[in-house]
Copies of this chain bind each other. A is one copy, B any other.
Amino acid sequence: MIETTNRIDEMSQFLKLLSDGTRLEILRRLHVREHCVCDFVEMFDISQPAVSRHLKLLRQSQIILERRERQWIHFRINPDHPQHELLLTILNAMDLPAIPKKNC
């Protein structure tokens, strides 16, 4: 029973992280290729700290991974996250046009 509650809590936490348009768009982009913070700052109409905060939430839950290269921090999807498959299913379910690999 406690076990059941835990699984439900984990899932609701996971879905909460995905239930924000900015974070969904971030994940959709990261599904194509790595991006650094500045890519997203250009992309969205929100401040740099706001972008940073979204990335922090996704990183804290291990949905994305980061890697520093010189002064940039590059983010990518974590393929080993327990719900990685579900994440891909959700991204596909949005059924959006593909993002060109070269695009910013």
Contact = CB atoms under 8 A, between A and B. Distances in A.
A4 to B, nearest CB: 5
A96 B4 contact: yes
- Classify the interface of chain A: helix, strand, loop or mixed: helix
A95 interface: yes
A5 B28 CA distance: 12
Nearest to A7: B94
Interface of A: 4-5, 7-9, 11-13, 15-16, 18-21, 24-25, 28, 83, 85-86, 89-90, 93-97
Contact of A15 (B9, B18, B95): B18
Contact of A8 (B7, B8, B15, B94): B94
